[in-house]
Structure 1
């Protein structure tokens, strides 16, 4: 009797295993990003996770780690390279210093607007730059978006280059952006994003610059009085996977991850675009004084020598090709 019960129990367990092979084979991967789950990156990450599960038949489950819980973006890049983090949705901030060619995208006023930038990244230039991540042992799946960057400060309205002179500003850890702002007379210094709100609150910096989605989600209106819609740099984002994960995927799995990443990247663009369109009014209603337009030509004249130097650094041909994209 005991033998019959044992056989019956084993048969039941076997039937459960056969009926649910996906559940038995599910692999959990950690996905880190800097902002909240309700942010534009969070929206893209959620779509990416959902699409991975759908396209792999539930074989993979992506667990989000938002709000920099696995470290800042510089740390996330290093963790990816070491294989300690599976994947991440990272903005442009750390990459110019890691892969020097990416500095070209930080040239001030290189892009006319977000639509121009998206056309560049979706075309041959963008595809070629996706492949450059391999130089540092990373696999880039698809582009997403952080948004056009705008200036905030606690001191005065900014409409022309002279208005920036003497302001202390936090700038991302990009040598190109630092040099660009210093050419405008700004006392610019880098600082990791998680420390930024406190630095603005204590007056360590007069101002900073970020996309509207980030300014709004971070509630910088509480520590900054003036917002200038400068659109001086396009901040891209990218979904990156570690080699240790990528090397375990077969061709079908790789295709599923890339397609899922493209869907997630597109959602992040749409969310960033909505934040740009709707966030300015919310910031205005919260008390920020908004300068809706700048004298872009004046800024470009002031930066002419510096931008010419950038052109020599990265090559005038790539700058020309970027500007020529319709």
Structure 2
């Protein structure tokens, strides 16, 4: 077990103090926060101009994360590719921070034809596509490169095809990332350390099952309520990717973190079927190509930011525990019953094929 830390702050900043800052100071602080984590440059666009049918098209692409996210950076690259290779005949309007609705609202808008594209996490879409629940299983992907192999290979392509129904066309994958654990009580390096801790989770039955099985007390809660709940000790901890922990300032009310990498969540790139059917075949292929390039670049940005942000959190006083392979194995063994409980509901063949592909990729 490796612990990364710096001198912890004696008292967490309180939200009430933040409200006293002027708008100008907030603006400068926001710019500093973005500048602290450097984004890789946008790659050059390669490929010839795609000849369409002479018509112009405009598409709105809405995402849930902010402008400082890897997802938005990937969207900037998508826009650059599509507009340049269509010679301006396709214009991409970018919307961030759920400006046009959250993940599920955006998917509904695609079905209705009032929005052209979005890229939600798979977790909120489990009710629509039950097979997506496989991505909520714990420790399914031991390394991000393993997730890449599965999602970019036959399994991932088959799942895109299966999701291209119900008014949607699924054209690619990108990365939300690994979820990490934070808490205000103690360092966590083994399941026994979780005993009795109140951990906020999404309203997701597999996530609840995971933390219950590990001995914690999972507490579903709206993300919007989470900072206050952590600050007031309504819950002891939470789990999210490093970038969310940093951008939401959870380190101000959470002294301890463990790099668990317990769940890897992808984003799926979706197009409204109504819009898709209006496009000539060459432009449809352009969107597929751009989605693939966006996904590859966004993963690179996500992983680059992940390492930077983890170090920033340590520099700011968060005590980060990095688990050894042997310690991870203890968590994995403890969570095997979750796989047994969900095998029939998700599909044993799908689980087995992913685990086999993951094993061969290591």
Partner of 1:324: 356
Looking at structure 1, the residues matched to 83 and 191 of structure 2 have their Cα atoms a distance apart, in angstroms, of: 49
Q: TM-score, normalised to structure 1's length?
A: 0.87
Partner of 2:336: 304
Matched, 1:278 2:308: yes
Partner of 2:163: 133
Task: Give 1:275 shift.
Answer: 1.8
Task: Give 1:203 shift.
Answer: 3.5
Looking at structure 1, the residues matched to 229 and 274 of structure 2 have their Cα atoms a distance apart, in angstroms, of: 37
Query: Root-mean-square deviation (CA), in Å?
Result: 2.0
Contact 2:167 2:274 in 1 (8 A): no
Unmatched segments (≥5 aa) in structure 2: 1-51
Matches within 5 A, 1:115-126: 115-126=145-156
Partner of 1:89: 119
Structure with a larger share of its residues in helix: 1
Matched, 1:153 2:183: yes
Matched, 1:239 2:253: no
Contact 1:140 1:238 in 2 (8 A): yes
Looking at structure 1, the residues matched to 220 and 100 of structure 2 have their Cα atoms a distance apart, in angstroms, of: 21
Partner of 2:12: none
Task: Give 1:220 shift.
Answer: 2.2
Contact 2:123 2:133 in 1 (8 A): no
Task: Give 1:33 shift.
Answer: 1.0
Partner of 2:195: 165
Partner of 1:189: 219
How many pairs does the alignment contain? 304
| Bigger radius of gyration among the two | 1
Looking at structure 1, the residues matched to 65 and 232 of structure 2 have their Cα atoms a distance apart, in angstroms, of: 22
Contact 1:72 1:194 in 2 (8 A): no
Partner of 1:19: none
Partner of 1:5: none
Contact 1:41 1:268 in 2 (8 A): yes
Provide Cα deviations, 1:181-229, integer angstroms capped at 9, x if missing partner.
2222222233444444344344343222122222223332223221110
SS for the counterpart of 2:126 is helix
Tell me which stretches of 4 or more aligned residues in structure 1 moved more than 4 Å: none
SS for the counterpart of 1:317 is helix
